Structures are given as structure tokens and as C-alpha cells.
């Protein structure tokens, strides 16, 4: 698997970068990849099927100049920015392997990530804490969510990407998001302030844990610039895409 640690200048370009990796692999010009990126400024990103008006405090985002974008994968709405580390996995779909279906891919990837991050944090937590996969694709620490994840599938490859809250300003979440319309049972209607937490590891520790877990030891030099420009122009810079529901 190849490794790319690259943050592009804008939220739109970074979301397009994940999708471009998937498109490149599907076209036969790329393969399996682990990418990291972290936005230097806050933005809101809704899942593919989310309704912006139902999930986001649109007026506050507008007043503060915080962009609202839509990603190509499912899942819920999140706030990103400094202290929120993103990872993206491009994996080959094989019918006889765990990537063969949505549910088995979720279970396979989430359990591998859980084990890797729990091991990275184990020496820093006293007493030991409980790391779990909850909902469909959340990672939790003692029942509090620190990672949300989502999947997009093509014929031959899938994109599985997510966030890790490390030293993020969690107050932004309550300020910019409404209570989600769909909630996992374990949330128990808790508000954002009582539902989220930070993963107590450094960026380097989190990255190293996932790099080792996925054996991403072959460097990838760059993202496909032409496809990123096309995706930004066609989708991620357009209100017709970001506010489509």
C-alpha cells in the first residue's frame, strides 16, 4: 500500500483529493493508498444524503464565514479544522475478502483501526480505557466518540475515510451543528458536548499506528491534479452539489 501525507490548500480540494484517489484507482492508474490530511481552517462537511438545513446551523456558518461542503460518501455531518486529523483508505474490492460487501468492509476496517489506535494510546491512559466500535462506523473511548467514518464504493475499489479528534476545538461542534436527525442508539440523545472526546495521542502517534496497521510503506508523491481540479469545478465549489438536499 502507498502512503501520502498531503494537505491541499482548501477544504474543497481536500475532499476532491480523496475522491480523486478512488477515481484514479478505479481507472486502473492507481492502487491501494493511505492518505492523511488536516484542514488549517474550520469547515462543515455533510454526508452525501444529509439535508444541510436539518443538520447545520447555516446562519452561524454564514456569519463566521465557515464553508459548508458535501462529501461523496455517506455518514453524518461533522466539523473539521485544526486538530482534526483525516485519513483516507483506498482498498481493492474482492468478493472473497472482507472488502467484498459494505458491512464486512466496515467491520474489517473499523476493527483494524480500533486495535491500532487503542494500542497507541494504551501507554498514555491510566487506568486503561475501553476502545470500541459503536454505531456502524464510530470509534469511541469509554463511550465517547472520537472518530466518525464513511465509505464510498465503486466496482473495483472503495474509499473509506474518517476523522480523528486529537486537539480539536470541540466547542465549534455545538456552535455550528444542530442535533443530528439520525443518531446511533449508544448516543442516547446526548448533546455534542457530552458525546465527543479527543483521542489522547499525538498526530505522529496516530499516523504511525495506522501506517503500521495497513503496512503503508511505499511513498506516493502526489495527488492527481487534473482530476482534483475537475472535481472542485464540477462539484465541491458548487452550491448545486453542496446544498443539493
Report the pLDDT value the prediction gives residue 126, as an integer from 0 to 100: 75
35 DSSP β-pair partners = 4, 88
Instruction: Give the structural domain span for 225.
Output: 2-242
List the CATH number of the domain containing 80. 3.30.930.10
- Peptide bond connecting 127 to the previous residue in cis, omega within 30 degrees of 0: yes
Q: How much is the pTM?
A: 0.96
Total count of domains within the chain: 1
Q: In tens digits, what is the pLDDT along the chain, a chain of 245 residues?
A: 999 999 999 999 999 999 999 999 999 999 999 999 999 999 999 999 999 999 999 999 999 999 999 999 999 999 999 999 999 999 999 999 999 999 999 999 999 999 999 999 998 887 778 999 999 899 999 999 999 999 999 999 999 999 999 999 999 999 999 999 999 999 999 999 999 999 999 999 999 999 999 999 999 988 999 999 999 999 999 999 999 98
Question: Which helix (H) or strand (E) covers residue 230, if one does?
Answer: helix 225-231
Amino acid at each position: 500500500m502507498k502512503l501520502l501525507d498531503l494537505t491541499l490548500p482548501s477544504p474543497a480540494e481536500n475532499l476532491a483529493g480523496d475522491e480523486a484517489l478512488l477515481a484514479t484507482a478505479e481507472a486502473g492508474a492507481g492502487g491501494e493508498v493511505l492518505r492523511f490530511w488536516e484542514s488549517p481552517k474550520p469547515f462543515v462537511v455533510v454526508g452525501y444524503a444529509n439535508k444541510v438545513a436539518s443538520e447545520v446551523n447555516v446562519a452561524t456558518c454564514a456569519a463566521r464565514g465557515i464553508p459548508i461542503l458535501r462529501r461523496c460518501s455517506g455518514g453524518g455531518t461533522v466539523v473539521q479544522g485544526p486538530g482534526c486529523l483525516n485519513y483516507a483508505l483506498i482498498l481493492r474490492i474482492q468478493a472473497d475478502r472482507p472488502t467484498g460487501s459494505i458491512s464486512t468492509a466496515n467491520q474489517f476496517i473499523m476493527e483494524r483501526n480500533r486495535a491500532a489506535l487503542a494500542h497507541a494510546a494504551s501507554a498514555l491512559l491510566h487506568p486503561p480505557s475501553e476502545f470500541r466500535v459503536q454505531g456502524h462506523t464510530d470509534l469511541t473511548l469509554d463511550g465517547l466518540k472520537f472518530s466518525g467514518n464513511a465509505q464510498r464504493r465503486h466496482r473495483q475499489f472503495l474509499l473509506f475515510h474518517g476523522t480523528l479528534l486529537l486537539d480539536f476545538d470541540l466547542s465549534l461542534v455545538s456552535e455550528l451543528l444542530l442535533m443530528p436527525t439520525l443518531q446511533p442508539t449508544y448516543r442516547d440523545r446526548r448533546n455534542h458536548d457530552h458525546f465527543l472526546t479527543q483521542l489522547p495521542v499525538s498526530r505522529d502517534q496516530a499516523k504511525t499506528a495506522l501506517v503500521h496497521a495497513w503496512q503503508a510503506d511505499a511513498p506516493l508523491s502526489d495527488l492527481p491534479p487534473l482530476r482534483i481540479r475537475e472535481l472542485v469545478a464540477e462539484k465541491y465549489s458548487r452550491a448545486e452539489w453542496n446544498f443539493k438536499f
